[in-house]
Structure 1
Amino acid sequence: MKLHRLALTNYRGITHRDIQFPDHGVVVVCGANEIGKTSMIEALDLLLESKDRSTKKDVKQVKPTHADVGSEVLAEISTGPYRFVYRKRFHKKCETELTISAPRREQLTGDEAHERVLAMLGETVDTELWHAQRILQAGSTSAVDLSDCDALSRALDLAAGDDAALSGTEPLLIERIDAEYGKYFTATGRPTGEWAAAIAQLRAADEDVARCAAAVAEVDERVRRHADLAERQAALADRGPSVAQRLTAAQTAATALAALGDQLRQAELVATAAQATCAASSAAQAERARLGEDVAARTAAVAEIQSRLAAAIEAEHTAREVVEMACAAAAESTAALAAAQEMVDDARRVVDALAADEQAQRLAARLERIETIEQQLATLTTDLCAITLTSDVMADIESAAALVERIEAQLTATATTVEFAATADLELTVGAQTIRLAAGQSWAPPTSSPTSVELPGLLSVQIDPGATTSSVQAKLDAAQHILAEALRQGGTGDVEGARDLERRRRELVSNRDQLAATLAGLREDEGVVEMRARLASLREAISPVLLTAGVDAAAARAAFVSAIEVRETARADADLHQRAMAGANVRLTESSTAATVLRAKVTDANAELGAAKDRLAALRAGHDDEQLAAQAAADIEAQRQADATVAELAGAYAACDPAAVQAELAEASTAAAALESEHVQVGHALNDITVELGIIGNEGRQGSLDTAQIAREHAFAEHSRVSRRARAAQLLRSVMARHRDTTRQRYVAPFRSEIERLGRPVFGPSFEVEIDSDLRICNRTLDGRTVPYDSLSGGAKEQLGILARLAGAALVAKEDSVPVVIDDALGFTDPDRLTKMGAVFDTVGDNGQVIVLTCTPARYLGVQDAHVIELIA
């Protein structure tokens, strides 16, 4: 397939474009970004694949937005024995036209033309190869997959020596095997279709048999349970009399134990009342004793607190005297600190004034130096302004002088030499000049231009140096004119003077730059006005009184240091006295607080002592201490007798073993209840199973099991039949795939060899690649180092992708070739490899079409025989 012509009209932003492509070689189509280079590939695909009335998104997107017109695409293509011109208009007034010029002339329109083109392309073009031989911007670094390209496969088979074994039906056979395999398996190898249905049918039959068998087993289980329940019901009826007799005996023993328990509880009530009376009388006797002891203890406590209060009052007076002395010492130290601080301030003012004076002196010297340098700069600037010679003019002078020297040397080499020798005295006329020659004297006139020499009255000679010498002389005159003009612009008369003036100018510029740098360093990003203002403010801040003639900077600094030391000593003393005063105040506060607390405690203790004495007197007014003791003794005796009665009854109750009686009653009651409950449950269960067995007997579960087993046998037979066919198809496909992979491994070698042949001029003689069975580049080896394809740089991936496509184009048969389209690739490639890639393009371009679309045509300057087509917006 070859593309001879492509014309676009009203396509996206392209109003009209018509490009003619040569039949072979490299075509570089260049133009700016967004001028529509990639759109040309897209337009060709739409022309070949989409109908003119198509409403697909890809077709709608190419309609121009600035005009309500239809997009037109025209292409002239030759493929196999056919050559045709094919045109379509989309969107508006849709139409399709086809004109076939070979092998015989035909004209078709509409869908008939569309179908005819598809038939011709299907007959003569490997579509997979046509799409694979493109390098687009979005996928320039992706590995190319050429495994489905039949044309390349045939070429590789021939290159591998397998042409005798080919019948031409191999792809069809593989497709039929894949179709047969697809009846039974999915692409991932899972069962599908008839095979999946047979598996599902067998699985369903197995589940149905299992369900029916479980139903029959369920009937057997119910019959067994019915027999067990009947046996349990008879056993429960036999246990009934013994359980009733045990319950009656347990109830009689529990009644006797309850009567004895009532007597014990009555005795315990009496003992509890006696205990409460005894406790009350004992508590009253103990309270009276406690009150007496409390009164005595409170009296002693009041005396002790009063003693502590006297000591606290004495400590408070002492602390107050200490505080007064500490306050006086602190005031004296504070006054001393203030005097020392004043001395420090005076000394600091003197030192600051001296420092400001030193800074002012340095700033004044700096300003003076700046003024001097500015004057020198002004002088240098004036001298430079007087020189009109510049570096550019000097360069022109040197260039013109060199040109004059070269032309003079050329003129000397080519000029004709003519010499006149006088045998006697004579005069020659050369133009308007008279030349006198004495006898024996010779004269050689310049012969670089036509010259007329006359011997008055005797001879006239015309000297013509020839066209070559004349043209050299004309060039010399022009060069001298240019030199004179350059010298005039530089303000000098000759070249040496210009050179001296240039050296003087460079010296002045160097001095000016040095002075400017020095001036910038002195200014330090501060203007002269600001420095003068700062100097004035420094001089105003310096007190004339402090800067007297007798002030010594070293003595002033020493005095400042001494004043600081005195101030720090005074500050330490003041801090010490302040801390002492604070401590004395704390101790005074603590003493005053302690005295106040003790006074409150004395008051509270006296009040509590009076209250205790009042309570004791009130109790003694009702009963004296002897009466209260006698009543307490009588209550103790009554409690002892009541406790004895309770102990006797408790012993009798315990002898009856209440826990055993209650446990026996509980166990007998539980056993009777459990027997009754179990008898009822067994009766209900027996009745339920009897009813269920009556219902199940009418369901025919054994017949259903027999039917399910027969259906399972049929499903198993069908499963076995389909399984044999599915396994056979799977085995056939795996064998064919293995043989196909083996065949591909044979023709991988020619493809690898072609890539390495094309790549060694680019990468070097050690270049090797590894190709898998899908004709994809796996890794690259240079100088013995192997790198996986995915780990290569973007430039290397681009270069290998182009080499793979060019290798495919070089290998396929001439009748199967398609154009290699490269859309703006090699953007990641360095200049050296660009030149080497150009040589590769030249090698492959001799056998087919290589169409390069780029916005940077300089990348392809290495392609010597490239046909360049420049797109203009």
Structure 2
Amino acid sequence: MRLRSLSLRNFAGSEARDLDGFQPGLNVVVGDNEAGKSTLLLALRSALFQRHRAQTEVIRLLAPYGRQVRPEVVVEFETGGESYRLRKGFLQKPEAELTWATGSLTGEAVEERLAEIFRFNHSGARKAKEGDYPGAFGLLWADQGRAFQGLDLGQGRDAVAASLEGEVAQVLGGDRGRSLLLLAKARHDRFFTDRGRVSVNSPLKAVEDRLAELGRDLAERETLARSYQDKIERLHRQRDRLRGYERDDVVRAAERSLRAAEEALAGLGALQREADEAKRALRQAELAREASVERIRARETSTHAARRAEAQASETAERLAEGEARLTREAEALTHTEARVEAARALEERLAAHAGRAARRAEARQLAAALVAAEARHAQASALVEKRAAVSRSEPGFDAGLLKTLDALERAAREAAIRLEGASPVLRLLPLDGRGARADGSPLEAGSALRIDRPLRIDLDGFGTIEIEPGGDGETLRREADRAALALGAKLRAVGAPDADDARRRARENEERVRERDRLDAQVRLLVPEGLAALAETIAADRTRLADQQESEPADEDVGDWDGARRDLADAERSAGAARQSVARAREAVAALRSEAAHAGADAHRRAEELRDAERDRPHAALVADLAAADTERAGRALAFAQRRDALEAADPETARRTLESRQRALAAVREDQSRLQAEVATLEGELGSQGLVSLHPEIERLRGEIAAAEAQRQRLALEAEASRLLHQTLADAQREARESWLGPIKQRVAPYLRLLHAESDVEFDESTLEIAALRRRGTEERFDRLSMGAREQVAVVTRLALAEVLKRGGHPAAVILDDALVNTDEVRLQRMHMVLQRAADMGLQVIVLTCRERDFRDLGAPIIRL
């Protein structure tokens, strides 16, 4: 296939685009980003492979955004020795037209003819998506950003296989071999998945599922039969137990035992009440004794507390006296230390005044030095200003603009003279026998060159006159050359320069003066950034200030050691601070002791009053007598309680109570068991009445028969499945072995390309998919997906071109389109890829490169079509 031209109207983002002049070999289409390069590939794919009446999402995206117009594509191409013109319109009034030298088609017939020409099939295809290619065109046409991902053979694998079979002498049996493998694959897929597991839709799986279902049904029926028999046996057992209850009169016997136990327990009630009353009286006596003990203990506690409070008050008063004495001593020490601080501070102030006078004298010295430096800067800057004034004068008109104008006028005159010379023929007269010639009356030397750039009259001795009129644009070019020369002369006269060299010399001198002036200005700004006037004012002010300081500064007096005075002041202030802290702590301690002494005295007084009040209310001797009386009362109550308790224990109330509880539980258990047996018997009788054991046996026998038949069918299908697996595996192994000979033609065609790119290298392919598996360089194999993006890109393009040769030899339309396919390639490898593309063109392939980087393909030597 050879693409000749491509035209778009209202297609995607492009309103109108016409590209023609595609050559049989290499072609480069150049355009900026967003210029529509990828749109060209989309348009070509839509024209050749999309139905014109389709309304898929891919087709709807062909129209410009927000506009109700019809996208149109016109493609002119050659294939199979025939030239075609294809026109398609989509969405709005869709139509298709295909014309060639001997015929034309319209409508759906166009789609069928295109499928026939390009060897693909519309019927049964899945819903088209963006980036889909039928047949081998996913291999031949590499979309932007996909070249480095590999070959993406897709549906093109069958086309490559068909082309390879022609070269390896039908190693796979051609169409018959593929049909046989497909039939074996279909039989295999009827039973198994691609991973060899039993398929969910397999008839073997269906029979196994049926067997499992029948097994579950049989197990359910057998379980029901066993359950029915178990219920009959249980019903007999429960009826026998009920008859035993009625025969032995079990319930009435349990009721009689319960009444006897209740009467025995009732007789123990009086003894229990007497024992409880004695126990309560004993408890009251014990509480009264405990109250007497507690009152005595409280009185003793109050006595001890009053004594401790009195001792605490005495101790606090002594510590308060000591604290007040310490406070007096600390206050006297603080007064002495503050006097030392005042004396040291007075000395420090005298020394500070002396230091201030010394600082002012140092400032005066610095001011004098700065004044000298400023006067020197002022003098130097004044000299630079005078020098600048000397170089400021320049000739008007001689500047950089004049140089640009002269260059432009000279270039125009030179180009006009060159064009005139190129358009004017040269005439040489070679007269015989010494004859002469004259041009416009001027003699011509024999053999001299005469350029014809204006009307000319030549007189030839012994012949006559020749009048020559220059043709073409000679007269126009001569006038342009004259105008250019006149313009240059007018400009030189305007500035008063005899020639262009003099004008350039004077302009350069002016530029040099300007640069010198700028340099001097920069030096002045660097030297006196504040300006000469401001510097002069600063110098005058500094002189006045210096004179004032020298007049007003008095003579120094000897005031002693400055550092020693400052140390004395610091020591005195530290001592005073420490003394103040000591006085503060002493005052806080005295205040705390005073508060503590007041609290201790008040507490001692309160406790003494409480003890006197308690003794007045009830003396300690009376409390001791109360405790003795309580002990006597408790002893009597304890003896009475022991007598009542012994009488109750002799009657054994625990045994009577447990006997009653046992009789109650026994009666309840008997009644509950009898009721449960009656209910269970009724339930079993109802269940057995609604079920029939006899009806289950035929159903069980039927299920067993179906299981036997299904098992036989499963064995037959398992044998068939294993046979299909063995057949498919055998044919697949044979195909794998045969495919080894496929790789010969591919590697043979890849090798020349690869040598241009990587010396001593080879490409390894996946035998089943023909995808690139690895690159072997100098004996080292590298997986394709582990290569750098640039290396993958280059190897994929090289292999794509080699497979395109295979397809072309197999009669498949094989034009190669690469959309920005070498964006990750460095300059050295790009030059080698140029040789790869040139070789592909030499092998008869049409290669179209879409790129936004014209400089990368400028040296390719291919026609460049610019968008």
- Which blocks of at least 5 consecutive residues in structure 1 are unaligned? 401-460, 469-477
Task: Name the structure 1 match of 2:226.
Answer: 217
CA contact (8 A) 1:151 1:813 kept: no
Cα deviation for residue 573 of structure 1 reads 1.9
Instruction: Pick closer, same or farther for the CA change 1:799–1:367 going to 2, 3 Å.
Output: farther
Task: Name the structure 2 match of 1:106.
Answer: 103
Task: Name the structure 2 match of 1:474.
Answer: none
Q: Deviations over 1:305-340 (max 9, x none)?
A: 664465356446535533642553454355346536
1: CA distance, partners of 2:289 / 2:785 = 107
1:757 counterpart = 2:752: yes
CA contact (8 A) 2:819 2:850 kept: yes
1:832 counterpart = 2:834: no
1:130 counterpart = 2:137: yes
Cα deviation for residue 172 of structure 1 reads 3.5
Task: Name the structure 2 match of 1:88.
Answer: 88
Task: Name the structure 1 match of 2:126.
Answer: none
Instruction: Pick closer, same or farther for the CA change 1:512–1:772 going to 2, 3 Å.
Output: same
CA contact (8 A) 2:3 2:76 kept: yes
Q: Deviations over 1:646-672 (max 9, x none)?
A: 324433433454444433443343234
Q: Deviations over 1:280-309 (max 9, x none)?
A: 479559857975x67866775676466446
2: CA distance, partners of 1:540 / 1:387 = 43
2: CA distance, partners of 1:540 / 1:608 = 94
Q: Deviations over 1:543-563 (max 9, x none)?
A: 96699778899x99x965444
Cα deviation for residue 803 of structure 1 reads 0.8
Q: Deviations over 1:477-510 (max 9, x none)?
A: x9xx9999675346489xxxx9xx99x979x989
CA contact (8 A) 2:815 2:846 kept: yes
1:811 counterpart = 2:806: yes
Instruction: Pick closer, same or farther for the CA change 1:68–1:23 going to 2, 3 Å.
Output: same
Task: Name the structure 1 match of 2:765.
Answer: 771
CA contact (8 A) 1:333 1:573 kept: no
Cα deviation for residue 191 of structure 1 reads 2.6
Task: Name the structure 1 match of 2:425.
Answer: none
Instruction: Pick closer, same or farther for the CA change 1:390–1:49 going to 2, 3 Å.
Output: same
1:73 counterpart = 2:73: yes
2: CA distance, partners of 1:514 / 1:787 = 68
Task: Name the structure 2 match of 1:170.
Answer: 177
Task: Name the structure 2 match of 1:795.
Answer: 790
Task: Name the structure 2 match of 1:863.
Answer: 860
Instruction: Pick closer, same or farther for the CA change 1:31–1:260 going to 2, 3 Å.
Output: closer
1:42 counterpart = 2:42: yes
Instruction: Pick closer, same or farther for the CA change 1:165–1:259 going to 2, 3 Å.
Output: closer
Task: Name the structure 2 match of 1:19.
Answer: 19
2: CA distance, partners of 1:334 / 1:590 = 31
- Which blocks of at least 5 consecutive residues in structure 2 are unaligned? 123-132, 411-442, 451-484
CA contact (8 A) 1:79 1:124 kept: no
Alignment match of 1:850 (pick from 815, 826, 847): 847
Cα deviation for residue 837 of structure 1 reads 0.8
Instruction: Pick closer, same or farther for the CA change 1:375–1:330 going to 2, 3 Å.
Output: same
* SS class of match (1:24): coil
Q: Which amino acid aligns with 2:763?
A: V
2: CA distance, partners of 1:839 / 1:845 = 10
2: CA distance, partners of 1:611 / 1:236 = 83
* SS class of match (1:591): helix
Instruction: Pick closer, same or farther for the CA change 1:822–1:298 going to 2, 3 Å.
Output: closer
Task: Name the structure 2 match of 1:445.
Answer: none
* SS class of match (2:153): coil
Cα deviation for residue 850 of structure 1 reads 0.6
Cα deviation for residue 705 of structure 1 reads 1.8
2: CA distance, partners of 1:59 / 1:599 = 109
Cα deviation for residue 842 of structure 1 reads 0.9
* SS class of match (1:845): helix
CA contact (8 A) 1:319 1:588 kept: no
1: CA distance, partners of 2:709 / 2:538 = 116
Instruction: Pick closer, same or farther for the CA change 1:177–1:635 going to 2, 3 Å.
Output: closer
1: CA distance, partners of 2:807 / 2:294 = 129
Task: Name the structure 1 match of 2:129.
Answer: none
2: CA distance, partners of 1:800 / 1:392 = 56
CA contact (8 A) 1:384 1:505 kept: no
1:63 counterpart = 2:49: no
Instruction: Pick closer, same or farther for the CA change 1:94–1:137 going to 2, 3 Å.
Output: same
Correspondence list, 1:519-558, <5 A: none
* SS class of match (2:740): helix
Task: Name the structure 2 match of 1:200.
Answer: 209
CA contact (8 A) 2:157 2:770 kept: no
Task: Name the structure 1 match of 2:710.
Answer: 715
Q: TM-score if structure 2 supplies the norm length? A: 0.75
Alignment match of 1:152 (pick from 160, 163, 183): 160
1: CA distance, partners of 2:316 / 2:266 = 72
CA contact (8 A) 1:387 1:505 kept: no
CA contact (8 A) 2:119 2:135 kept: no
Instruction: Pick closer, same or farther for the CA change 1:289–1:268 going to 2, 3 Å.
Output: same
Alignment match of 2:609 (pick from 603, 607, 610): 607
Instruction: Pick closer, same or farther for the CA change 1:701–1:552 going to 2, 3 Å.
Output: farther
CA contact (8 A) 2:368 2:546 kept: no
CA contact (8 A) 1:756 1:768 kept: yes
CA contact (8 A) 1:377 1:512 kept: no
Task: Name the structure 1 match of 2:467.
Answer: none
Task: Name the structure 2 match of 1:566.
Answer: 568
Correspondence list, 1:463-478, <5 A: none
Instruction: Pick closer, same or farther for the CA change 1:787–1:351 going to 2, 3 Å.
Output: farther
Comparing 360-369 with 386-395, greater Cα deviation is found at 386-395
1: CA distance, partners of 2:142 / 2:690 = 79
Q: Which amino acid aligns with 2:108?
A: D
Q: TM-score if structure 1 supplies the norm length? A: 0.74
Instruction: Pick closer, same or farther for the CA change 1:697–1:116 going to 2, 3 Å.
Output: same
Aligned residues with identical type, % of pairs: 22
1: CA distance, partners of 2:15 / 2:246 = 111
Q: Which amino acid aligns with 2:139?
A: A
* SS class of match (2:730): helix
Q: Which amino acid aligns with 1:149?
A: R
Cα deviation for residue 598 of structure 1 reads 3.3
Correspondence list, 1:620-769, <5 A: 625=622, 636-637=631-632, 639-697=634-692, 700-763=695-758, 765-769=759-763
Instruction: Pick closer, same or farther for the CA change 1:654–1:330 going to 2, 3 Å.
Output: farther
Task: Name the structure 1 match of 2:419.
Answer: none
CA contact (8 A) 1:124 1:816 kept: no
2: CA distance, partners of 1:289 / 1:65 = 106
Aligned length: 771
Instruction: Pick closer, same or farther for the CA change 1:792–1:214 going to 2, 3 Å.
Output: same
Instruction: Pick closer, same or farther for the CA change 1:216–1:753 going to 2, 3 Å.
Output: same
Cα deviation for residue 261 of structure 1 reads 6.0
Cα deviation for residue 26 of structure 1 reads 0.7
Instruction: Pick closer, same or farther for the CA change 1:512–1:289 going to 2, 3 Å.
Output: closer
CA contact (8 A) 2:808 2:814 kept: no
Task: Name the structure 1 match of 2:426.
Answer: none
Alignment match of 1:322 (pick from 294, 316, 329): 329
Q: Deviations over 1:227-254 (max 9, x none)?
A: 443454466667766x977886787577
Cα deviation for residue 830 of structure 1 reads 1.5
Q: Give the superposed CA RMSD.
A: 5.0
Instruction: Pick closer, same or farther for the CA change 1:602–1:803 going to 2, 3 Å.
Output: same
Cα deviation for residue 185 of structure 1 reads 4.5
CA contact (8 A) 1:87 1:96 kept: yes
Instruction: Pick closer, same or farther for the CA change 1:358–1:279 going to 2, 3 Å.
Output: same
